[in-house]
Amino acid sequence: MNKIPQICIACYLLFLSSLVNAQEIDFGTYSSSYSMSVTTIGNTSLDFGMLISGDLSPLEILLTDVEIVTLQITGVRYLDVFVDIVAPDFLIEDAEPGCVTNNCRVGFTLGAAYSNKGTNNTSQAVVFGFTNTASVQFPIKYRGNAPPGPPPTPVYQGYDPSQFNEDAYLYIYGTLAAGTYDSGSYTSSSDIFVTISYD
Amino acid sequence: MNMKQLLKILIVFSFLSSNINAQVNRVSASVNITANVEQSIQLITVNAMTFGDIEPGQIEIFVNPVIDVSSGYMIAVGTPEAEFRLDYLNVRNLTNVENEGFLTFQYVLSGNDTEDQASSELIDNDNRTIRFNNEGTFHIWVGGRVNLENATPGSYEGDFTIEIDYI
């Protein structure tokens, strides 16, 4: 008997076994079957308003301020989502788009939080963003200390995803550094970019 | 099953498994950040208001900020062309520093975007929204009126508070 095919199969299975994570069932493999959406509620940009040059205090938009940007995430309530946020380090004076000096660029520090208890309520929010690159994983619907729920309902004919959907909320805010700057309008060098995916 | 058939199966299986992992539902959003930087406002007092000598029997002092050289003179410095609101308490008490008693002083202000007192306009409650000129300055003259009928002899002093904020 030619043993080469058997050896190949054994090697391949050995290779596959090295990729398996013990005791973890990844329902995210099937998450492509489930929809998710993100929409902005209220403010569409993080507008700090007026920053006084030479002021000694940083200009903050706090989690509790009306200037925050709120993103509503609608997805399957018992699935976890990964949220990744990348924010720019500076706002640049519009009149000096190539600015690399501190007289025409203002340092920005991101703040981010989420709420997954079913209501758009910042007092229930969990803060996770302290730097300009932030990541977090959370279930669309808070489940406390309870274990993860059953596997997602399979997609079937007549499947109505809205029956299984819930809203979670993502809050974006931050701080502008105090300093002496040129007068004018300032805009972020790039947008704050938020990516959300199922686990 | 020969070697070639086995390799085909393995290759196809490998392709399918990697393709499943690539199908991840992903959404994204972007948020713009904006701010306006304004220069801090400075108020420079160039001249203090003076009353000069008071004649015996004189019952009122009035320093007209538009025409009197004894008016106080201040320069506000800020962001060129920026609008600001000017607020002040137009009635203040002047305290007698030697005896008891005080005088009630009613301030009157005028302003101009050029350094020309004669063409300055009175700043009242109706026109307190003002704009810096293209050099970022605004000129303010301070005058006022005080009734001396019940004044006791002595020296009086008091302060004047003016507040300027960007709109």
- In this prediction the ipTM stands at 0.80
Whether A28 contacts chain B with CB within 8 A:
yes
Which segments in chain A show pLDDT lower than 50?
A: 1, 11, 13-22
Which is more confident, B151 or A194?
Answer: A194
Q: Does A51 touch chain B (CB under 8 A)?
A: yes
Token pair 């660029």 in the structure block, residue: A105
pLDDT over threshold 80, residue B77:
yes
Alpha carbon separation from A158 to A33, A151, A164, B39 (Å, rounded): 14, 19, 13, 62
Q: How many CA atoms lie within 13 A of B71 on its CB side?
A: 25
The model carries a pTM of 0.69
Q: In the predicted model, what is the mean pLDDT of residues B27-45?
A: 92
Our CA-based measurement puts residue B88 at a distance from the nearest CA of chain A, in whole angstroms, of 22
Q: Is the pLDDT of residue B125 over 80?
A: no
Around Cβ A28, how many Cβ atoms within 10 Å?
19
Nearest CA in chain B to A88: B33
Q: What is the CA radius of gyration of chain B?
A: 35
Residue pLDDT, tens place only, A57-76: 999 999 999 999 999 999 98
| B109 — pLDDT class (breaks 50, 70, 90) | very high
Contacts of B151 (CB under 8 A, 6+ apart): B101, B103
Question: A183 vs B38: CB contact, 8 Å cut-off?
Answer: yes
Q: How far apart are CA A124 and CA B85, in angstroms?
A: 39
**A109-128 pLDDT per residue, tens:** 999 999 999 899 999 999 99
> Per residue in A176-198, is it b (16+ CB within 10 Å) or e — as a string?
bbbbebbbeebbbeebbebbbbb
Residues of A within 8 A of B33 (CB-CB) are 45-48, 87-88, 91, 108, 174, 187-188, 191-192
Which domains, ranges and CATH numbers included, belong to chain B?
42-166 (2.60.40)
Check residue B18 and give its pLDDT.
32
Q: Do residues A122 and A64 make contact, with C-beta atoms less than 8 angstroms apart?
A: yes
Q: Would an 8 Å CB–CB cutoff place A55 in contact with chain B?
A: yes
Q: By C-alpha distance, which of A191, A166, A192 is closest to A75?
A: A166
Look at the block and give the residue holding tokens 């002899």. Answer: B153
> Between A4-17 and B3-22, two packed helices, what is the crossing angle to 10 degrees?
10
Give A55→chain B minimum CA distance, Å: 7
Mean pLDDT of chain B: 80
Q: Which of B6, B20, B37 to mutate to test the interface with A (most CBs of A within 10 A)?
A: B37
Q: Which of A50, A54, A191 sits opposite B36 (nearest CB)?
A: A50
The answer to whether the CB atoms of A51 and B35 lie below 8 A apart is yes
